[in-house]
Structure 1
Amino acid sequence: MEKLKQSMGGFVGTFVALSTILGSGMMILPGMSYHRLDTAAWQPWAIAALSVIPLLYCYAWLGRRHPAASGVAHYAEVALGKPVGRTSGMLAALALVTGIPATAITGGFYLAEFSGIGVLAWVFPLLVLVGATFVAAAGASFSGRLQVGLILALFALILATAVAAIGEHGPRPPALEVPGIGALGSVLTAVYVAFTGWETVAFTFEEHKRSDLIPRIFAASYVIVITLYGLLLLGLFAAVDSGEDALESAPLLVLADRAFGDLGRPAAAVLVVACITANVCASVLALSRLVFGMARSGFLPAALSRVRAHDRNPITAVVAVGCVLTVIAVLGAMDLFPFEFLFILSGGVYFVLYGVGAAAFTRLASGPSRIAVGAVCAVVVVGVTVIAGPSMWLSWAVFAVTLLVVVLVARFSRRAAVATPAADDPTPALRETTREKT
């Protein structure tokens, strides 16, 4: 069985996690939520941030003890059976295949808004996805080093922008009134995209040198992510009116403009390009590992499990992933389907996979933590599903339908294999000869 090379340390692993998380969730969702809920926008972010803590614990535990390229698909298969594992892998691929192009398109919208050149809305997604494919083809070590530099620059620019905006315009307190359940639920489903990425990072765990550092990587990246999201929301509250339409497409450009004037917008454009590039590079790397792992397990064509000899990089999976994502991004940028639908579908499916990971943890762990964490996860999953409303219910329906199809196809395949003997199997001929002699 093909194995990936263990080349990633804890420091690079933390920045790969940050690259995977800090993408479109930071670029567009703070503005979208503020535009729709005004200063009550912090509420869906707080719900999402708190609710993922026990689920992250589950994934950190699973990653430390079961590092595998197929991530949640492997955990689910070991704990809950092959049909659930295959379903989880397919839905994880669906979430990434919709989420990565949405992130790239977000970058295109930002650049088009900044420059006034509308063609960048689809040219940038094409360029960044092709570039990310080449980066992933170069290997995990090269990709990780690139992401360290991009995320450090991103962190510095976001911190400076948010602090300057608050200092220039003064803080504005968040609203305590709870918005309507429908509005809160739809925003909450989209906001979950901003708290996804840790389950995606799990697809790179097979390449970590020390799996015992995975819980620390999760903890450090969570604290940094929460800090940055909080600063962005407070900066928007202070400096931008919630009625501005640009909040739906380029909120960081508006925030930088209010914080630094004309000098802020070019810096914000560089920030956006760096963030989107880092996120897409990390996500393409992770998706290629998922595809490799599923192919190795027999869920996808075996050709996708081939690795390059000198660095153990699954180059066939990398190229296949890059081609599919590029096509979807171009179609999405051309408005052939609703752009926001990509975020909602991706966020909902990611949350379902958090629930699957929690169920796998409950089956595989032992001791008092298993019962306590499992119970908290169950409350979180049910509670958030109810609050989020139809958009989240749709994601669970997609999981149920996919699982049913996987089970039916598996049963049909087994029956067909039993009913149709192999061409080189002599058993039927021997039976017929025996009947004739008798």
Structure 2
Amino acid sequence: MTDLRKATGGTVGTFMALSTILGSGMMILPGTSYHELARAAWMPWAVAAVSVVPLLYCYAWLGRHHPSASGVAHYSEVAFGPSVGRASGLLAVGALLTGIPATAITGGRYVAEFSGAGYLAWLFPLVVLVGATLVAALGANVSGRLQVALILALFALVLAMTVLALGRHGVPAPGTALPGFGAFGAVLTAVYVAFTGWETVAFTFEEHRRPDLIPRIFAASYVIVVVLYGLLLFGLFASAGADDPALDQAPLLITAEAAFGALGRPITLLLVAATITANVVASVLALSRLVFGMARGGHLPRGLSRMRERDGNPVVAVFAVGTVLTLIALLQWTGLVPFAWLFILSGGIYFVLYGIGAASYGRLATGAGARAVTVLCAVTVLAVTLVAGPPMWLCWAVFAVVCLGMLALSRRPAAMLRERVR
């Protein structure tokens, strides 16, 4: 057996998508954007939400027509050849290997601060990473049910918190004055991180019973994510002034205390724990599927594609991924891996993967509608890349270098064969 078992339904798939998308960005970006742009902060969020739609459409189309555990690596290989596919897959592995520990460590820092137990700053991420590995080893169904429970609890808490805060402090009017271009661009670039994750969801599509439901899963998860971000942002508008220094550190705590008073701190602790746990559980599962798919395709050691016979779960890839993620988290605490690098690498590469997916869609889809979507994606990717500046340019340069390296490696055996023939 070489294919993953198709056991995931539409409802569980939607919650798995939400778990993958909602992460550490949800806990900090509404606060930092409000601090920078006051009540005009809704503008970059709205621009990001609208402009990301064509990119999500591309991934929904690709997932429906080419469901594979390799996700963007498979799409780009079909569209542009094995060198680009392998480079895309390796970049995706790198993004997740840096992004998942960064999310877990961020959660640990919040949990330590809100609980007053400093040791949780290193214990929480280790427990979450090990726990997520064990859950993934039990299979996609177990992981999916856990994610459903965590996301339902998360959404209920955010909804209650925001409604109470707005009820007590009134519904604030959003700002209408346009902010400066420089400040707007910087916030927009940061906010885009909150809309990454759908490219990671694609690594689980091979296990979906009905690929035709993938566009609906994307649409439903997108609407829920936008509503959730809107609730968090307007809850902050009602709860604090834009000059509150806590906006850059613990924005969720501000709204929680405005809504629940003394209970705000423990409720914030629950919110953070649920968000981070759901995100790490979903991401570990997705990364294990990507590693399995890359190994099955011959781009990683074949042993990583071994599956458990009774349920078809790629447990070798699961435990390999969990071990490496835990080691990276431990290395960060030693200072050998700077924490900031984890976010810079993962955030930039995630957006590069969006661009690669859009380019693959443009190559594989046909018709006037497909051309229009491709043009919209190209405009979005180019604009964000220019506004983001050198860090994003570096990520595209890394992708180009890796592609050239894969191309050189693929030509070398052919050249050696020609020499032997002579």
Distance in 2 (CA, whole Å) between partners of 1:255 and 1:394 is 37
Distance in 2 (CA, whole Å) between partners of 1:333 and 1:162 is 35
Distance in 1 (CA, whole Å) between partners of 2:344 and 2:192 is 9
Deviation at 1:119, TM superposition (A): 1.9
Cα 1:311–1:350 change in 2 (3 A) is: same
Distance in 1 (CA, whole Å) between partners of 2:414 and 2:247 is 53
Q: Which 10-residue stretch deviates more, 365-374 or 53-62?
A: 365-374
SS in structure 1 at match of 2:43: helix
Q: TM-score scaled to structure 1, two decimals?
A: 0.91
Deviation at 1:203, TM superposition (A): 0.4
2:61 alignment partner in structure 1 = 61
Task: Tell me, yes or no, if the aligned pair for 1:105 and 1:333 is still in contact at 8 Å.
Answer: no
1:148 alignment partner in structure 2 = 148
Deviation at 1:182, TM superposition (A): 4.0
Deviation at 1:411, TM superposition (A): 2.7
1:41 and 2:20 matched = no
Distance in 2 (CA, whole Å) between partners of 1:36 and 1:339 is 23
2:329 alignment partner in structure 1 = 329
Cα 1:281–1:42 change in 2 (3 A) is: same
What is the CA deviation profile of residues 289-309 of structure 1, one whole-angstrom value per residue up to 9, with x for unaligned ones? Answer: 000000111110001111110
Deviation at 1:274, TM superposition (A): 1.1
Aligned residue-pair number? 422
Deviation at 1:334, TM superposition (A): 5.4
Task: Tell me, yes or no, if the aligned pair for 1:192 and 1:348 is still in contact at 8 Å.
Answer: no
1:82 and 2:48 matched = no
Q: TM-score scaled to structure 2, two decimals?
A: 0.95
Q: Which 10-residue stretch deviates more, 243-252 or 233-242?
A: 243-252
Deviation at 1:235, TM superposition (A): 0.9
Task: Tell me, yes or no, if the aligned pair for 1:104 and 1:124 is still in contact at 8 Å.
Answer: yes
Distance in 2 (CA, whole Å) between partners of 1:392 and 1:22 is 22
2:11 alignment partner in structure 1 = 11
Task: Tell me, yes or no, if the aligned pair for 1:110 and 1:249 is still in contact at 8 Å.
Answer: no
Deviation at 1:248, TM superposition (A): 3.0
SS in structure 2 at match of 1:28: helix
What is the letter of the counterpart of residue 298 of structure 2?
Answer: G
Distance in 2 (CA, whole Å) between partners of 1:171 and 1:39 is 12
2:384 alignment partner in structure 1 = 384
Distance in 1 (CA, whole Å) between partners of 2:75 and 2:46 is 28
Deviation at 1:212, TM superposition (A): 0.4
1:434 alignment partner in structure 2 = none
1:99 alignment partner in structure 2 = 99
1:238 and 2:216 matched = no
Deviation at 1:185, TM superposition (A): 3.4
Q: Which 10-residue stretch deviates more, 150-159 or 245-254?
A: 245-254
What is the letter of the counterpart of residue 156 of structure 2?
Answer: A
Q: Which 10-residue stretch deviates more, 235-244 or 112-121?
A: 235-244
Task: Tell me, yes or no, if the aligned pair for 2:295 and 2:305 is still in contact at 8 Å.
Answer: yes
Q: Which 10-residue stretch deviates more, 36-45 or 142-151?
A: 36-45
What is the letter of the counterpart of residue 371 of structure 1?
Answer: R
Deviation at 1:288, TM superposition (A): 0.3
Q: Which 10-residue stretch deviates more, 378-387 or 228-237?
A: 378-387
Deviation at 1:417, TM superposition (A): 5.6
What is the CA deviation profile of residues 19-50 of structure 1, one whole-angstrom value per residue up to 9, with x for unaligned ones? Answer: 11111121222223223333333233222211
What is the letter of the counterpart of residue 198 of structure 2?
Answer: W
SS in structure 2 at match of 1:128: helix
1:308 and 2:335 matched = no
Q: Which 10-residue stretch deviates more, 6-15 or 246-255?
A: 246-255
Distance in 1 (CA, whole Å) between partners of 2:233 and 2:333 is 27
Distance in 2 (CA, whole Å) between partners of 1:189 and 1:340 is 16
Distance in 2 (CA, whole Å) between partners of 1:42 and 1:70 is 35
Task: Tell me, yes or no, if the aligned pair for 2:71 and 2:203 is still in contact at 8 Å.
Answer: yes
Distance in 1 (CA, whole Å) between partners of 2:318 and 2:207 is 15
Distance in 1 (CA, whole Å) between partners of 2:412 and 2:248 is 47
Cα 1:3–1:246 change in 2 (3 A) is: same
What is the letter of the counterpart of residue 133 of structure 1?
Answer: T
Distance in 2 (CA, whole Å) between partners of 1:337 and 1:181 is 34
Cα 1:39–1:340 change in 2 (3 A) is: farther
Task: Tell me, yes or no, if the aligned pair for 2:69 and 2:206 is still in contact at 8 Å.
Answer: yes
2:357 alignment partner in structure 1 = 357
What is the CA deviation profile of residues 217-241 of structure 1, one whole-angstrom value per residue up to 9, with x for unaligned ones? Answer: 0000000000000110111122123
The runs of 5 or more residues in structure 1 that have no matched partner are 422-426, 429-438
Task: Tell me, yes or no, if the aligned pair for 1:190 and 1:343 is still in contact at 8 Å.
Answer: no
1:348 alignment partner in structure 2 = 348
Q: Which 10-residue stretch deviates more, 127-136 or 236-245?
A: 236-245
Distance in 2 (CA, whole Å) between partners of 1:65 and 1:401 is 29
2:394 alignment partner in structure 1 = 394
1:431 alignment partner in structure 2 = none
Cα 1:353–1:295 change in 2 (3 A) is: same
1:212 alignment partner in structure 2 = 212
Task: Tell me, yes or no, if the aligned pair for 1:162 and 1:235 is still in contact at 8 Å.
Answer: yes
Task: Tell me, yes or no, if the aligned pair for 1:109 and 1:249 is still in contact at 8 Å.
Answer: no
What is the CA deviation profile of residues 308-347 of structure 1, one whole-angstrom value per residue up to 9, with x for unaligned ones? Answer: 1011111011011111111222333555555344333322
What is the CA deviation profile of residues 82-130 of structure 1, one whole-angstrom value per residue up to 9, with x for unaligned ones? Answer: 1111111111112211211121112111111112222211111111000
What is the CA deviation profile of residues 133-181 of structure 1, one whole-angstrom value per residue up to 9, with x for unaligned ones? Answer: 0000000010001111111111100111112222222233333344444
Q: Which 10-residue stretch deviates more, 110-119 or 55-64?
A: 110-119
The runs of 5 or more residues in structure 2 that have no matched partner are none
2:50 alignment partner in structure 1 = 50
**Pairwise CA RMSD of aligned residues?**
2.0
What is the letter of the counterpart of residue 411 of structure 2?
Answer: R
Alignment of 1:268-279 (within 5 A): 268-279=268-279
**Structure label with greater radius of gyration:** 1
SS in structure 1 at match of 2:52: helix
Fraction of identical pairs, as percent: 67
